[in-house]
Structure 1
Amino acid sequence: MKIILVPMISFVIFSRYTDAIVMKKVILTAATSKGAVCLDGSPPGYYIRTGTTSPNNWILHQEGGGWCFNEDQCVLRSKTDLGSSKGWPPNVTYSGLLSDDCTVNPDFCGWSMVYIGYCDGASFSGNVENPVNWKGTTLYFRGARILEVVINAVLEAAGDNIEHIILTGCSAGGLATYLHADYVRSKVPSQIPVHAIADAGYFLDAPNVNGEMHIRERYQYVYKMQNCTGGVNQDCIAANPTEEWKCFMAQYTYPHITTPIFLLNSRYDTYQINFILQLHCHAPNCSTDQMKEFMKYGNEFLVAAAPAITSKSNGVYIDSCQIHCQSLKEIPWSKFIVGGQTMRDTFNAWLTNSTAMKSKVVDCAYPCNPTCLLNS
């Protein structure tokens, strides 16, 4: 029997308030002269905190928040903080990987931190030259320009003493990490190490419960609508000349990324289960047939993530918790355990080439991991 589906939600608004670190807003007003603007034409910006013990080491986090899958959704989005910088607060706070609490984040608590505001609706990838008038509203698709001006501004702020960069992001920002890791790498001198950790950005090109490739169609439309050809991994574009849209998806971009990158994801990511698989239940409160689909998707995720799992150089942390975005939350970052290791310790082991711990761990199938309950 075919399952009746509810309409797909176009984007998720992530709160800029959690706990710990305070970061101050920087709005790049001059960027408007370069056409680098949010959906509504307002200037882009970022939040910054200078590090204490390691101020020359930088973490650059790209905000998440889904996508607008068509012009109507982009109009709605342009009236929110995910499409306009007009309402952004002067300060924000975050935990996990961006925390200054060394009990939560011992390896990076003293680093300088940047949180890049997301207001373009296409993971910082679009570049349409002329404004788009849609039903009386003017839209700007300029995400690639936003990323360029922000990275330039951050590198200028960092100065000549910069020693290390980690690019990261969750959700749409996690996808952006896959898409732009090599671009950021190209912006800094080769002697400066650049690494990436992509959180919850490995969205599958997979069918829903009715066998429909609906998510593919949506990504294809975003890619075309926002003219993302020049704003994604160019080696991927060269490898897919007749299917460029694939380069807007992590599983097709991943094999072309040359920057060292760490995959952080749940194999039962709640966003993917709800909006890609379109299975609207939370295990174990699902029917027998729904649980079959749920478990099947977890296996499909591992198959799609095989290039990362089998990579000889990149890192992996795949848990079986029902969650979306983990690196900015204290409990997942420092207390979830897979293979006897937390994600923060696994990431650091990979980053430092430590042999004390594994740099790649993959969880067993749901519901095997009791530490997932810590987040409930």
Structure 2
Amino acid sequence: MRFYFGLLLLTVIPKLDATRVTKLFMLRDAVDSGAVCLDGSPPAYYRGNGTGSDSNKWIIHMEGGGWCPNNADCYDRSNTPLGSSTSYGPTESLSGFLDDDPKLNPKFANWTVIFIKYCDGATYSGNKDDPVVVYGKKLYFRGYRILVNVFEHLLKNGLEKADAAILTGCSAGGESTYIHLDVFRSLVPANIPVHGLPDAGYFINAANIKGQFEWPAQYNYVYHMHNVSTGLNQACVEAKAEDDKWQCFMGQYAYEYLKTPLFVFNSQYDTWQLDYILELGCRPPNCNARQMKHFNAWRPTYLKALSPAIDNPTSGLFIDSCLVHCQSLDTSWWSQVTVNGTSAHDAFAQWYFSNGSVTTKEIDKPYPHNPTCT
């Protein structure tokens, strides 16, 4: 089975043109420290400098794009931009939360933006010393080293003097936010405020339509295959029994150990989870009665799994009822979809700029209540 967490961006709202153009930075010196993509090529990120009074505020986005859960799949991945930096272009255009158009992203348009390229295949968490030879090619599971190397590079190139920093990402990048937010906090100077905005990363451990729990075995396998134990939240790893340490690799469980404030952004009907965790086999309204029964039961299951964040007074939430996976990189979803009359942009801004004095928790009614989703 192949897992592409970040590729199924199933939206029904047309995407607006991205306006922020960012420049590629290839970290060739990182190779000496073993921080390399699956194919051994150097890690990279794109940067767009901010302007005006917000230019020293930073948004650092971790790209999504699934996992590779076995050697053959990692070999295939190593020949794509999700496993190799050899084909990255000199620029990248960004939108949504990373857009620099103040009409589309008014509170964050002038911030400096970093877009970290994803090329390791295990949510920036792998930390295996020796390469694995597959079909005569060396593969490197070094995602955690990549992430730390990028953070340290940024800290030598402006981040160390930032006024504020937000760590974010969607899909596998969203899950990475839950996993790595406290590590990022520990590396950034203590006087710099740090917050997290994980998008579509709260994957849950739930039964599929047949009543089977398939994901514990999958997470556990990738946990060992990529040697991710040292690349996870260590408070979580130390608290779990040996057979349960894989849970720290999953947004649902990693969240409970986070100390850094964050804002949970997710659809309660995340289409990736409907397809690959619930295994629904259809997209409402084009489902039969049995499928719709399971679809309708998914929302209370998801909200129960989300209850630690719902009950946490320091966490903000924007949980819509759209059939979508990943929303923060699309200006339409980021600024036009609303819950209780509030967009994701406005909900996050309200929570963020209140410095914890406002608890923003926008949770949508059941599908198909929300007309802004279509």
Establish whether TM, by shorter chain, passes 0.5: yes
CA distances 1:346-365 after superposition (whole Å, capped 9, x unpaired) = 10111111799861110111
**Residue equivalent to 1:361:** 362
Displacement of 1:13 in angstroms is 3.9
SS of residue matched to 1:165: strand
CA contact (8 A) 1:14 1:64 kept: no
Identity %: 46
Quote the residue 1:307 is aligned against: 308
Kept after mapping to 2: 8 A contact 1:349/1:356: no
Match of residue 52 from structure 1: 51
Secondary structure at the residue paired with 1:157? coil
Equivalent residue, structure 1, for 2:233: 233
Matched with 1:28 is: 27
- Separation (CA, whole Å) in 1 of partners of 2:65 and 2:301: 24
Deviation at 1:91, TM superposition (A): 0.6
- Comparing 164-173 with 271-280, greater Cα deviation is found at 271-280
C-alpha change, 1:159 and 1:118, in structure 2 (3 Å) is closer
Q: Taking structure 1 as reference, are residues 337 and 356 closer, same or farther at Cα in structure 2, changes over 3 Å only?
A: farther
Give the conservation status (yes or no) of the 8 Å contact 1:97–1:328.
Answer: yes
Look up the equivalent residue of 1:338 and give its one-letter code.
V
2:192 corresponds to 1:164: no
**Equivalence for 2:191:** 191
**Conserved in 2, the CA contact under 8 Å of 1:37 and 1:140?**
yes
Q: Which has the higher contact order (CA 8 A, sep 6+)?
A: 2
**Pairwise CA distance, 1:155:** 1.5
RMSD after superposition: 1.7
In the alignment, does 2:168 pair up with 1:205?
no
CA-CA distance at 1:137 after TM superposition: 2.5
1:24 is displaced (CA, Å) by: 0.5
Corresponding residue for residue 138 of structure 1:
138
**Residue 208 of structure 1: CA displacement?**
1.4
By how many angstroms is 1:77 displaced?
0.6
* Deviation for aligned residue 1:9: 4.5
Q: Deviations over 1:125-184 (max 9, x none)?
A: 010000011232211000000001101111211155311000000000000000000000
5 Å-filtered alignment, 1:1-20, equals 9-10=3-4, 12-13=6-7, 19-20=18-19
Give the counterpart letter for 1:156 in structure 2.
K
Alignment partner, residue 13 of structure 2: none
CA contact (8 A) 1:346 1:357 kept: no
Cα deviation for residue 216 of structure 1 reads 2.0
Give 2:308's aligned amino acid.
P
Give the ranges of 4+ consecutive aligned residues of structure 1 lying more than 6 Å apart after TM superposition: 354-357
Within 1, Cα distance between the matches of 2:75 and 2:194?
A: 36
Name the counterpart of 1:39: 38
The answer for unaligned runs of 5 or more in structure 1 is 1-6
TM-score by length of 1: 0.94
Map residues 72-221 of structure 1 onto 2, 5 A cutoff.
Answer: 72-158=72-158, 160-221=160-221
Q: SS at the partner of 1:118?
A: coil
1:252 maps to 253
SS at match of 2:103: coil
Residue 4 of structure 1 is matched in structure 2 by none
Aligned 8 A contact 1:321 1:369 in 2 = yes
Counterpart of 1:285 in 2: which secondary structure? Answer: coil
For residue 83 of structure 2, give the secondary structure of its aligned residue in structure 1.
Answer: coil
Question: TM-score under structure 2 normalisation?
Answer: 0.94
Alpha-carbon separation, structure 2, partners of 1:65 and 1:18: 21
User: d(CA) in 2 for partners of 1:8 and 1:184?
Assistant: 29
CA distance in structure 2 between the partners assigned to 1:356 and 1:147 by the alignment: 32
Give me the whole-angstrom Cα distance separating, in 2, the residues matched to 1:21 and 1:60. 14
Q: 1:31-73: CA deviations, max 9, x gaps?
A: 0000000001000010001101211100000000011111111
For these two proteins, the number of residue pairs brought into alignment is: 366
Q: Which residue of 1 aligns with 2:263?
A: 262
Q: Name the aligned partner's letter for residue 279 of structure 1.
A: L
**How do residues 266-345 of structure 1 correspond to structure 2 at under 5 angstroms?**
266-345=267-346
TM-superposed CA distance for 1:191, in Å, is 1.2
